[in-house]
Amino acid sequence: MTSQAITADAAGTWQLGDLTVNRVGFGAMRLTGSAAFHLGAPSDRERSISVLRKAVELGVNHIDTAAFYFSALRSANEIINSALSPYADDLVVVTKVGPHRNYSGEWATSARPDDLRGHVEENLRQLGRDHLDVVNLRRMRQYSIAEHFGALAELREEGLIRHLGISDVEPRHLAEAQAIAPVVCVQNRFGLDSDDPAADELLRICGEQGIAFVPFYAIAGDRGPQPAVTTHDDAVLAVARAHDATPAQVRLAWTLRQGPHVLAIPGTGNPDHLVENVAAGALRLTDEEAATLDALHQKAIETGRP
């Protein structure tokens, strides 16, 4: 497929509350280096800035970030601020709070509910904004998220946050959060190789309720914050050849096909990969191809591995 002329609206739009976003967005984690956090070589700052600006030129208006996305030399939020401020009116910047890293890069102990104001204020400071469009509460393995989500709901009432979401959760956590305040998105690990039935259940529930489902690591698979997978099932390769596409584009296209409420946030520091990721929104799988890929996903669910 020819990628250069394809823009982020090719897959359509969805609503995050009253905010309209193109379904193909951008994840900012990899802006800080070749992998995540302190892993890999530090990124070239100017290159990262150019990738962000190119993303916006291609119609990306949904950027996912966090204050804890930083490496030894780079901060994703600072790069976003430098590249895109003053922010366009239609640009939606989504951040997440809960996890916390000290300045040496080590993960700190789990945040208490009263710590979250500081997390929100740090994101505001780094991004140079007076409010945050959407804040996801990233669950930190606690059984209940009620107290933490309630703390964010209070900040929403104060006007520091416009909309709320949740991340790395189970279906019961969605119900728990909705009893406190509206939830506009659920962000969980999900992709072709995902083997967690809870993610599929959340995908279904969100579709029924009109909530955005935002997979992370849709391309990276089990490698998570490491660079994306480089080995692919023969079926994925065959579909890629049929469309003159990359395996990563096929994986993104399959993810987007799971429902109009599914948003993609692939991340990269490579301008060529950015163009390819955005173009995946225009890749239309045939019913037969989709059924073949669905079977691969079902195998992962049933066996616990791809």
Query: What is the set of domains in the chain, with CATH numbers?
Result: 8-303 (3.20.20.100)
Q: Which of 69, 87, 143, 217 is catalytic?
A: 69
Residue 109 has what pLDDT?
65
Written as one string, the DSSP assignment of 85-134 is: PSPPTT-EEEEEES--B-TTS-B-SPPPGGGHHHHHHHHHHHHT-SSEEE
Query: pLDDT category, 229, cuts 50, 70, 90?
Result: low
Q: Is 69 a catalytic residue?
A: yes
Quote the tokens at residue 104: 């040496």
Contact 30, 79 (CB under 8 A): no
Name the more confident of 76 and 3.
76
Residue from 180, 131, 128 nearest 158 by CA: 131
Share of the chain above pLDDT 90, in %: 80
Contact 192, 251 (CB under 8 A): yes
Residue 223 has what pLDDT?
47
Residue-wise pLDDT for 269-283, tens only, equals: 999 999 999 999 999
Residue 110 has what pLDDT?
73
Query: Mean pLDDT throughout 286-294?
Result: 97
Mean pLDDT over each residue of the chain, to the nearest integer? 91
Is residue 207 over pLDDT 80? Answer: yes
CA–CA distance, 262 with 207 (Å, rounded to integer): 8
Sign (positive or negative) of CA dihedral 107, 80, 73, 263: positive
Secondary structure class of 213 (helix, strand, coil)? strand
Query: pLDDT category, 107, cuts 50, 70, 90?
Result: confident
Query: Mean pLDDT throughout 82-108?
Result: 89
Residue from 304, 35, 155, 7 nearest 164 by CA: 155
Sign (positive or negative) of CA dihedral 88, 50, 10, 131: negative
202 Ramachandran zone, left/alpha/beta (phi>0; psi -120 to 50): alpha
CA–CA distance, 156 with 256 (Å, rounded to integer): 29
CA–CA distance, 284 with 289 (Å, rounded to integer): 10
Query: Mean pLDDT throughout 142-163?
Result: 97
Amino acid at residue number 122: E
Contact 207, 201 (CB under 8 A): no
From 100-104, 167-171, 215-219, 247-251, the region with the lowest mean pLDDT: 100-104
CA–CA distance, 14 with 30 (Å, rounded to integer): 24
Query: Mean pLDDT throughout 98-105?
Result: 79
Is residue 42 over pLDDT 90? Answer: no
Is residue 189 over pLDDT 90? Answer: yes
Name the more confident of 47 and 103.
47
Is residue 134 over pLDDT 60? Answer: yes
Residue 157 has what pLDDT?
98
CA–CA distance, 241 with 238 (Å, rounded to integer): 5
